[in-house]
Chain A
């Protein structure tokens, strides 16, 4: 059973398009995250949600809009895709917001902008 699953695994699209990435966790966790990993493998937090409420919103263009319909799901919608958006996007979850919790990551969505 996959704990944190993301779809799609690969996404190839043209500049200017709008796309969504979906994430689901079956761990019963309260907190979910989106991270971006660039070509140099640097993993940077974008957003975190706790019980469907936005907690962390890093300096991310407002073309990126997360949505959490329930605490098991956190989707990411990206408008007007740009070349610089090409990266691997990881979803993660943790038991709650307290700092000592391990994060469980999905296997990533590889986004390529043509």
Chain B
């Protein structure tokens, strides 16, 4: 069966460290993968997109990698700050007929001051 798993439900790290979040999938061949941030009581906010033929994408303190062999994406936040505390969602774009995004269950990140 098709599955998307994000590593831990919750991740606590110390301010200034690098947070690494994992998104693993099975039985998909995604053309695109996106990462979103969701704060309590708010809708998800788009952060980064990576294509299947790209290995890495960066935006300021954020970095995403995409390994289609391992069926895994890693999302890194360097020099993390308490304001980075939120839930982070990965979303795979499938192309069976039409483009459709399947979301993972999210990882709740807490950056401790």
Contact = CB atoms under 8 A, between A and B. Distances in A.
Interface of A: 4, 35, 40-45, 48, 55-56, 90, 92, 97-100, 102-108
Interface of B: 31-32, 34, 41-46, 49, 51, 87, 89, 93, 95, 98-103, 105-106
Contact of B49 (A41, A45, A102, A106): A102
Contacts of B46: 102-104
- Tell me what chain B mostly uses at the interface: helix, strand, loop, or mixed: strand
| A-B residue pairs, 8 tightest by C-beta | A105-B43, A102-B46, A99-B99, A99-B93, A43-B103, A99-B32, A107-B43, A105-B44
Given A56-B98, A100-B32, A108-B41, 6 more contacts: A56-B100, A90-B44, A99-B99, A103-B44, A103-B101, A105-B43
